[in-house]
A and B are shown apart, each in its own frame.
Chain A
Amino acid sequence: MSRLNNRIRVYRAEHRMSQGELAAKIGVSRKTISTIEVGKFVPSTVIALKIAGLFDVPVEEIFSLAEE
């Protein structure tokens, strides 16, 4: 069973961006961003790529697999 780690919160903080702002920029709801951040929701490839694209980093900089 693999778990998806993410560093969205860190990148948001670096860019001084709220969950709502990030959500609006990539076209999802704030709830979606908050549930991705806490690992409750695994985003689609499209959402992951949009987030990475927004922060201008490769997607694996933000998302990584953690073996349990």
Chain B
Amino acid sequence: MADEKDAEPMAQLYDRFLNRSAVGMFLVALMFAYSAVEQVLGGNLPLFLNYAEKMLAILVVIVVAPVTFKVYWRKRSLLGSCSEPEGFLTTIFQKAATRAFTGGFLALMVLYVLFEKQMVSWPAAVLVPALLAFNLMVASVSFFLDNLSDDESDFDDEDDLGAEVEQ
């Protein structure tokens, strides 16, 4: 079992890392959103939401940390000779990061243009987590949507392979 896991190709491991990172970003976005709402409401949130936030933090560590360490150790063991494997998920992850930056920039521009005067009184404790939540949400949702596909048309079955050759 351990050997089977160790034999996981680096590219496959890196894809798993990117998937987990996107899930982690989504969960952190929820935590930032909670933080912003908490500031707005002055801490008058139901107690279970407080526990939910802590659970989210633990979940982030559980989801992201193991695969992150695995990628780190694998890279170290390759003595730095391995660059990030290129591939579909790496590309859509970069695209998601670009969209998050663009979305955040546009959101700030819109806020500035529409609410320039009112913004003076907006507390940073609300604005900063809200923008962080927005950016992370855009990045993770963009990644998930691009990753949704019906392209899992592998044919590992010997008969299918034969049929394909005959065509």
Contact = CB atoms under 8 A, between A and B. Distances in A.
Partners in one complex: yes
Interface of A: 9-10, 12-14, 16-20, 23-24, 27-32, 34-38, 40-41, 44, 46-47
Interface stretch (B65-73, B84-92, B111-119, B123-131): B84-92
Interface residues of B, number: 24
B15 to A, nearest CB: 4
Contact of B14 (A16, A29, A36): A29
A51 B165 CA distance: 18
Give the residue among A13, A14, A16, A20 with the most B Cβ atoms within 10 A: A13
B159 to A, nearest CB: 11
Given A12-B161, A40-B151, 14 more contacts: A10-B164, A18-B155, A18-B156, A19-B156, A20-B156, A28-B85, A28-B86, A29-B9, A29-B14, A29-B88, A32-B15, A37-B153, A38-B149, A44-B86
Contacts of B152: 34
B3 interface: no
B160 to A, nearest CB: 8
Interface of B: 9-12, 14-15, 85-89, 91, 149, 151-156, 158, 161-162, 164-165
5 contacts: A28-B11, A29-B15, A32-B88, A37-B153, A47-B87
B151 A38 contact: yes
Q: State the majority secondary structure of interface residues on A.
A: helix
B26 to A, nearest CB: 19
B18 to A, nearest CB: 10
Contacts of B10: 27
Nearest to A16: B161
A19 to B, nearest CB: 4
Contacts of A28: 11, 85-87
- Shortest beta-carbon contacts, A-B, top 5: A13-B164, A32-B87, A18-B156, A19-B154, A29-B15
